Structure 1
Amino acid sequence: MIVDLHNHTPLCNHAEGEIEEYIEAAIQKGTKVFGFSDHAPMDFDPEYRMKFEDMQAYEASVLAVKEKYKDKIEILLGYEVDYLPGHMDERVLHADVDYLIGSVHFIDEWGFDNPEFIGQYENEDIDVIWQKYFDAIEAMAKTKLFDIVGHLDLIKIFKFMPKKEITEIAKKALLAIKESDMVLEINVAGYRKPVAEAYPSKELLEEAYKLGIDITLSSDAHKPEQVGLYNDQVIAMAKSIGYRECAYFQNREKKFLPL
């Protein structure tokens, strides 16, 4: 991947490998801009994110490798922040970083993408929870707190698909993303999940392109060996739709590189 902005570290408690192993893997794959955006601390779901007291060490470690590898690759610092009203923290929202990814992992505090809680799907109307999910994406975009939308259609992770047209369900969310000038990541982690395709789907990416929404690329790596996987597939998809460049951020300022 020429740009790869969504990657994790062991501080989130569910990733493996040393920070330098991720960078070395990115360099091998020809990545020009590589970002760490580990799961930001929050007073909810602490098992799957770093602690507040780890923020300083996390930021310092990323800045240290940024300097160490400056002649080989551009390293960026970010956080993946859960959009969960009542639980987001100013220390994260106002951190001195290159970018913030806004993600939705919870519907009414149900961790719908966690295999531990997959049984809850049996108790839900699939069309209703898809709409709730995209309503949360819309609300997240309208805050204008974040630079990048994380895995736009994560709700499809276990391949429980709605009966309604997905582009209609997501329409207002996409409009809010455009209005907020957020960037949409093409996240390859979906290839590693039951749905077996990127986030977002090609049909949603086509709608984003029609609206003039910019894109970036993300491995969402939780292991060094996941860095840069499925690169060819997602770039081919993006180009087939019409995209010719991808975005990245330095000090919250959007920049571009050609695909």
Structure 2
Amino acid sequence: MLTDYHNHLETGTLTLDYLKKFTDEAKAKGIGQFGISEHAYHFYQTADILQNPWVNERRYYDMKDYVNLFHEAWSHEIDVKMSIEMDYTPGKHAEMEAFIKSYDFDYVIGSIHWVDDFGIDLKEYIHEWEKRDLHEVYRNYFQQVVTLAESNLFDIVGHLDLVKIFKYIPKEEEFLLEQYDKATTALANSKTCVEISTAGLRKPIGELYPDKRLLQMCFDKKIPIVLSSDAHFPEHVGADYDQALVLAKEVGYKEIMTFSKGERKILPLG
């Protein structure tokens, strides 16, 4: 079994024709379960969860249109999971929970792109890395992973160590391992799975998410995994899965988690 649960339509259109380009690519690559998980900040219905100038310029979808697209796909017997990728926002647990429960998602991805007002993975904010204390950013980032896990709102945590995207990484291994340990301990005590994401190979870091040491901690603490490409274009669906499978098996994984309307099933890893 292969999954690709983390994918976006935002560079195209919320139309069946564009969606089919993704699902056709998934089928061609032998991906057994495929899902779309558009960024929640694009939707008017999340205005009470995340607000900042960068996000507000990109809020232009209505959830009604999104849900209708999936119903149209299902009516054409297109096998696609309906999901959302939500920016985990501290202090907004009630609002996030209300939004999540309002829709019949197959699963929900929680991700961290913002540390306070700092968009850690955005080119528009890259200059901020030189202005900020690297250790403080990492501490705050992984503390948010802890509270994301403790919220138990999410089925999957996206790109677990996204914070490394621009190669700003503390040199002290002891410090890094401390952050990894606290994050994985919290995840192990939650329902949240970890994705192995190939998206990092297409970013400046040029590595899979998560780091092998971090993924090893996930395995050792019995945290389930899924595979994802975080494709924003059809051609990136299932990209570089050979490398993801090698990493998963090197640390010991032999199984993968699957989702359907909130129900979970563990299957052998393809």
Superposition TM-score, scaled by structure 1 size: 0.91
- Once the two structures are TM-superposed, the CA of residue 32 in structure 1 deviates from its matched residue by 0.8
- Once the two structures are TM-superposed, the CA of residue 86 in structure 1 deviates from its matched residue by 4.4
Structure 2 alignment gaps of length 5 or more: none
Q: Specify the alignment match of 1:33 in structure 2.
A: 33
In the alignment, residue 189 of structure 2 is paired with which amino acid?
E
Q: Determine the C-alpha separation between the residues in 1 that align with 2:35 and 2:255.
A: 17
The equivalent position to 1:150 in structure 2, one of 155, 158, 163, is: 158
The equivalent position to 1:85 in structure 2, one of 75, 86, 90, is: 90
Alignment of 1:102-117 (within 5 A): 102-117=110-125
Q: Specify the alignment match of 1:203 in structure 2.
A: 213
Q: Specify the alignment match of 1:232 in structure 2.
A: 242
The equivalent position to 2:171 in structure 1, one of 146, 163, 166, is: 163
Q: Determine the C-alpha separation between the residues in 2 that align with 1:31 and 1:83.
A: 27
3-state secondary structure, aligned to 1:195: coil
In the alignment, residue 83 of structure 1 is paired with which amino acid?
Y
- Once the two structures are TM-superposed, the CA of residue 91 in structure 1 deviates from its matched residue by 4.8
Count of matched residue positions in the alignment of Structure 1 and Structure 2 = 250
Q: Is the 8 A contact 1:39 1:50 kept in 2?
A: no
Q: Determine the C-alpha separation between the residues in 2 that align with 1:119 and 1:84.
A: 23
Cα deviation per residue 1:24-49 (whole Å; 9 max; x = unaligned)? 11111111100111101332213445
Q: Is the 8 A contact 2:97 2:153 kept in 1?
A: no
Q: Determine the C-alpha separation between the residues in 1 that align with 2:57 and 2:253.
A: 37
Alignment of 1:183-222 (within 5 A): 183-222=193-232
- Once the two structures are TM-superposed, the CA of residue 246 in structure 1 deviates from its matched residue by 1.0
1:167/1:66 CA distance change after superposition, 3 Å: farther
The equivalent position to 1:245 in structure 2, one of 227, 230, 255, is: 255
- Once the two structures are TM-superposed, the CA of residue 162 in structure 1 deviates from its matched residue by 0.9
Q: Is the 8 A contact 1:246 1:257 kept in 2?
A: yes
Structure 1 alignment gaps of length 5 or more: none
Q: Determine the C-alpha separation between the residues in 2 that align with 1:38 and 1:156.
A: 22
Q: Is the counterpart of residue 66 in structure 1 residue 74 in structure 2?
A: yes
1:31/1:253 CA distance change after superposition, 3 Å: same
Q: Determine the C-alpha separation between the residues in 2 that align with 1:36 and 1:91.
A: 20
1:48/1:221 CA distance change after superposition, 3 Å: farther
Alignment of 1:39-50 (within 5 A): 39-40=39-40, 41=43, 42-43=46-47, 44=51, 45-48=55-58
- Once the two structures are TM-superposed, the CA of residue 50 in structure 1 deviates from its matched residue by 5.1
Q: Specify the alignment match of 1:56 in structure 2.
A: 64
Q: Specify the alignment match of 1:178 in structure 2.
A: 188
Superposition TM-score, scaled by structure 2 size: 0.88
Cα deviation per residue 1:134-153 (whole Å; 9 max; x = unaligned)? 00110111001111011100
3-state secondary structure, aligned to 1:21: helix
CA RMSD of aligned residues (A): 1.7
Q: Determine the C-alpha separation between the residues in 2 that align with 1:99 and 1:220.
A: 15
1:188/1:48 CA distance change after superposition, 3 Å: farther
- Once the two structures are TM-superposed, the CA of residue 64 in structure 1 deviates from its matched residue by 2.2
In the alignment, residue 12 of structure 2 is paired with which amino acid?
E
Q: Specify the alignment match of 2:80 in structure 1.
A: 75
Q: Determine the C-alpha separation between the residues in 2 that align with 1:231 and 1:139.
A: 30
